[in-house]
Amino acid sequence: MKRSGILNQQLSEAVASMGHGQIMMIVDAGFPIPRDAWRVDLAIGANLPTLEQLYALIAPELIVEKVMFAAEVKEHNKPLYASLTKWFDERDFAPVTYEDTVGPLAQQAKVIVRSGALDPWGNIALVAGVDYHAYFTDPAVSVPDKFRSLMERTPFKPGAGHE
């Protein structure tokens, strides 16, 4: 038996399958999931699980380089915004239109995880990143400025696959 982290097999597989630049959406109970999407449906009741419960499981296991959400969240759903700032780096936030969250982002998403959340504008797109520290371990490989600044934002974590 797996000891910790994500215990749900489908969600664990979905997180492990994510590659750089691919989108995982974590959405509310009423989200119009496209018919052909890879759906991980975790909704079991009203607000079960919540969006924050899913962030708490996914954030430690997925490298996220961008968090997209409806611009209305910051002003009109302060609890959801606070939850996002707790689990993800605000420097990675990229507000979009609500229409983008239910349209183009949903169509581009590799995986859509449905929660039981009854949260206005509760549809969040996470763009997967990479561990730049792991890619630049060879001292003979120079680190371009763009990647150096990304590495400074995400400090080296011992035991995270670095040599």
Catalytic residues: 20
Q: Residue type at 154?
A: T
Distances (CA, A) of 51 to 28, 72, 79, 117, 143: 7, 17, 11, 6, 36
* 69 bridge partner residues: 95
Alpha helices in 43-97 (DSSP H): 51-58, 72-76, 78-87
C-alpha to C-alpha distance for 55 and 8, rounded to whole angstroms: 14
Structure tokens at 69: 């959400």
